[in-house]
């Protein structure tokens, strides 16, 4: 099965050059404010940054006084993240890890449970999210939260078929070297995977582009109750 890795390895340098230190307006205006409200970052929080790309949100978390374990399955992306975030090497530990591999994910366990986990614009890039949701549940402390921002599935689905899981090629940044995979799942599919693993939802936002009336992004907070 094509898990999209080849495309991300080819796009890693382009992505890092384009996003730079501060990421793009899309991230800064739509993703970061909503994710940050739901994540409620506290100094000393221990946070897992899932599919971290070039580490832009990891750096933001570090600036707020958190300790971060960040990972991505693209080795090139992680090399670029380490280089770009050198000044934060005391606070951010970068790893190569595939979010579809449960046992690999459990190796991200450190000497304490995570307070929080975050996945910015990533679950729609991940071929199978069940192992990730299971592992994050295991890695979080009781009452810990997992916040993710992703394409709003109700408004961005292929083939005129909202309910059926599907993969399509798409572009995160105009003129990126190769198209990447986007994995569509309905809202009930995503939420039911979270519920099966034991999470409850206790925070939710929908974000449109400025001036528009239809949200293209949804931001969800899952909580591990027990």
Ligand X SMILES: C[S@@+](CC[C@H](N)C(=O)[O-])C[C@H]1O[C@@H](n2cnc3c(N)ncnc32)[C@H](O)[C@@H]1O
Under rule CB under 6 A, residue 219 binds ligand X: no
Whole-number Cα distances in Å, 7 to 53, 127, 139, 169: 13, 13, 29, 10
DSSP for residue 125: G
The residue from 66, 172, 190, 222 that contacts ligand X (CB under 6 A) is 172
Task: Write the burial class of residue 113 (CB in 10 Å: 0-12 exposed, 13-18 middle, 19+ buried).
Answer: middle
Binding mask 176-195 for ligand X (x = CB under 6 A): --------------------
The residue from 51, 62, 69, 136 that contacts ligand X (CB under 6 A) is 51
Calculate the CA 192 to chain-centre distance: 18
Residues 22-41 that bind ligand X (CB under 6 A): 23, 27
CB closer to ligand X, 91 vs 95: 95
Of 99, 110, 49, 91, give the one whose Cα is nearest residue 74: 99
Instruction: Give the nearest residue (CB) to ligand X.
Output: 53
DSSP for residue 139: H
The residue from 16, 48, 120, 151 that contacts ligand X (CB under 6 A) is 120
Under rule CB under 6 A, residue 131 binds ligand X: no
Under rule CB under 6 A, residue 8 binds ligand X: yes
Under rule CB under 6 A, residue 121 binds ligand X: yes
8 Å CB contact between 52 and 220: no
Binding mask 79-108 for ligand X (x = CB under 6 A): -------------------xxx--------
DSSP for residue 42: -
> Which among 38-46, 120-128, 160-168, 202-210 is the span making contact with ligand X, rule CB under 6 A?
120-128
Number of residues that bind ligand X (CB under 6 A): 23
Task: Give the residue ranges of DSSP H helices in 64-108.
Answer: 75-84, 102-106
Rounded CA separation 134/197 (Å): 6
Calculate the CA 36 to chain-centre distance: 13
Under rule CB under 6 A, residue 72 binds ligand X: yes
Residues that bind ligand X (CB under 6 A): 3-4, 8, 23, 27, 51-53, 56-57, 72-74, 77, 98-100, 120-122, 125-126, 172
């Amino acid at each position: 099965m094509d898990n999209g890795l080849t495309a991300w390895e080819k796009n890693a340098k382009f992505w890092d050059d384009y996003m730079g230190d501060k990421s793009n307006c899309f991230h800064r205006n739509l993703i970061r404010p909503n994710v940050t409200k739901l994540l409620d970052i506290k100094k000393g929080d221990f946070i897992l940054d899932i599919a971290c790309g070039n580490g832009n949100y990891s750096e933001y978390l570090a600036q707020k006084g958190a300790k971060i374990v960040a990972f991505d399955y693209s080795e090139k992306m992680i090399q670029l993240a380490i280089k770009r975030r050198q000044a934060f090497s005391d606070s951010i530990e970068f790893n190569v890890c595939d979010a579809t591999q449960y046992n690999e994910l459990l190796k991200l366990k450190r000497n304490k449970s995570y307070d929080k986990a975050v996945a910015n614009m990533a679950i729609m890039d991940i071929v199978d999210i069940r192992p990730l949701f299971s592992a994050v549940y295991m890695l979080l402390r009781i009452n810990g939260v997992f916040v993710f921002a992703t394409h709003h599935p109700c408004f961005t689905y292929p083939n005129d078929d909202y309910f059926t899981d599907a993969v399509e090629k798409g572009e995160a940044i105009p003129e990126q070297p190769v198209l990447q995979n986007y994995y569509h799942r309905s809202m009930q599919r995503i939420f039911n995977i979270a519920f099966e693993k034991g999470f409850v939802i206790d925070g939710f936002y929908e974000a449109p582009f400025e001036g528009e009336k239809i949200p293209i992004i949804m931001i969800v907070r899952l909580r591990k109750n027990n």
